[in-house]
Amino acid sequence: MLPAYVPNPVAAIFGGGTPIDLGRKAGDGRRILGDGKTYRGLLAGVFSGLLVGFAEIVCSGAGLPGWLPVPTVTTILSLALGALLGDIAKSFFKRRLGKERGEKWFLADQYDLVFGSLLLLALLSPGWFIAYITLPVLVAILIITPILHRAANIIGYSLGVKDVPW
């Protein structure tokens, strides 16, 4: 899950500039995504997730039991890109609900990256998904993610990288 966890904080650090929705509004008069989703954040985030993933591929080669598939570029790209697509999709629905940028949305803010990364993984890397994302692994992900999310956001807030500690 590291390639899925790294892109969000990296986007918060390196993001900014042109918003993905180019400032455009939807039919409801609100922004399509908002200023919190930028091209720079998306590119830096996916790139960082890929770097972490490549490091994992290099490290995993020797240590994996033969019956477990080795992660591929598709695997780590699914996780990294899926995490940020989940985040973008969340912002889309957040705006449609009338929530402003940075406003809290319980559960959606925590699990958007899990939903996006696992969905893209299941679509693009189904063999890997079935081999690794077993029920106990999924339960572990669902428990660990909100804890990591909260910790990362508190750190990001105290460093001044994030405007709000959630």
Using CB under 6 A, which of 48, 75, 78, 91 touches ligand CTP?
A: 91
Half-sphere exposure of 28 (CA within 13 A, CB side): 12
Q: Which is nearer to ligand CTP, 3 or 34 (CB)?
A: 34
Closest Cα to residue 10, out of 116, 125, 87?
87
Using CB under 6 A, which of 56, 72, 101, 150 touches ligand CTP?
A: 101
Could you tell me which stretch among 57-65, 67-75, 96-104, 143-151 binds ligand CTP (CB under 6 A)? 96-104
Binding-site size, ligand CTP (CB under 6 A):
18
Half-sphere exposure of 128 (CA within 13 A, CB side): 22
Measured over the CA atoms of residue 115, residue 116, residue 119 and residue 122, the dihedral's sign is: negative
Closest Cα to residue 125, out of 71, 61, 86?
71
Q: Is 31 in the site for ligand CTP (CB under 6 A)?
A: no
Q: Which is nearer to ligand CTP, 3 or 162 (CB)?
A: 162
**Tokens standing for residue 71:** 């992660």
Q: Which is nearer to ligand CTP, 100 or 127 (CB)?
A: 100
Q: Is 21 in the site for ligand CTP (CB under 6 A)?
A: no
